[in-house]
Amino acid sequence: MRKAKPARPLLVIDGDSFAHRSYHALPKSLRRKGDRGAGAIIGFANFLLRLYASEQPRAVLVAWDTLDEPTYRQRLFPDYQSGRQFDAELIDQLAVLPQFVTACGFANAKAPGFEADDFLAAAAAQEERSGGAVLVASGDRDAFQLASARTTILHPVKAGEMARIGPTEVRERYGVEPQQVPDFIALRGDPSDKLPGAPGVGPKGAAALLHQYASLDDALAAGRFSAHAEALRLYKRIATMDRSAPLPALGDQTPSWCIAATLAREWELNRLADRLDELAAPSAAAPPERAASVANAAPKPRGRSPKRRPSR
């Protein structure tokens, strides 16, 4: 009896995380049409193509921050991720990268008030409810809270290499269960997000407390950290990914590499265009009406310079 093929996973990517990594890893001399920066675009595109080839997902969703409006986390805790400024060339490339994702035939998720992390959580929860498997690619360890029997985190460890993080790996790294990660972050703190944590509590102390009490709420109910209870509950809320974030339709997708190649050539990124043309060659061309729609797919940058965390 022939074994059934395993279901293809949904691949969900923290776009900001890997765009930031690409921007800082590649030379600033990489340019596109109009003498504008291209390193983040090229690096992210290469990452996306490599990951698609290795994982063969049924669909891809790339999640993005909205950079020009505060998130609900910043409204709750003004110090959250405060003081960060980003190069104008990086912001410019972040603004057009969703257009490239659309040209590839994949989906984007972006909405005011939410972070990329929230879309990762919402997509994983939705796919798990339907019985599917999920791969979440993120450079942020906060995503470890999503690890489950059906969801695996793809976490970069060195150039071109991704660690696969499931519940066992979360336990080995942090000493807690995936669902305890927000409690762990609230107790330990997170300097990169400006979360102070509980006074005098480090990673080992946070893990020990969660072994004893199971959750932050249980520890507070037992009288621990009574003077900091309100703040710690806030830190946990901030560290918890919002599974209610709005999502686009995530049906099965067929990549439209030829449309992406056309866009890359319009940007005068010819080596990337050649690579996409090679991927498109074995398959039929995508419908021409999709090619016409891609030109208007990029969100327009608005407002002030953003404050945004670098990928961790």
pLDDT per residue, tens digit, the chain (312 aa), is 555 566 899 999 999 999 999 999 999 999 999 999 999 999 999 999 999 999 999 999 999 999 888 899 999 998 888 767 899 999 999 999 999 999 999 999 999 999 999 999 999 999 999 999 999 999 999 999 999 999 999 999 987 799 999 999 999 999 999 999 999 999 999 998 899 999 999 999 999 999 999 999 999 999 999 999 999 999 999 999 999 999 999 999 999 999 999 999 999 999 999 999 999 987 544 444 444 444 444 444 333 334 344 434
270 and 122 in a common domain: yes
User: Closest Cα to residue 122, out of 266, 14, 260, 213?
Assistant: 14
226 and 107 in a common domain: no
188 and 135 in a common domain: no
Count the domains in the chain: 2
Would you say residue 306 lies in a domain?
no
29 and 45 in a common domain: yes
Strand bridging mode 36-37 / 31-32: antiparallel
Q: Token pair for residue 202?
A: 């480090």
> Residue 190: beta bridge partners?
195
128 and 91 in a common domain: yes
28 and 14 in a common domain: yes
Give the C-alpha separation, 174 to 191, whole Å. 17
166 and 110 in a common domain: yes
154 and 83 in a common domain: yes
Q: Which domain holds residue 225?
A: 175-239
Give the C-alpha separation, 155 to 7, whole Å. 22
199 and 108 in a common domain: no
212 and 83 in a common domain: no
Question: CATH number for the domain including 212?
Answer: 1.10.150.20
Would you say residue 139 lies in a domain?
yes
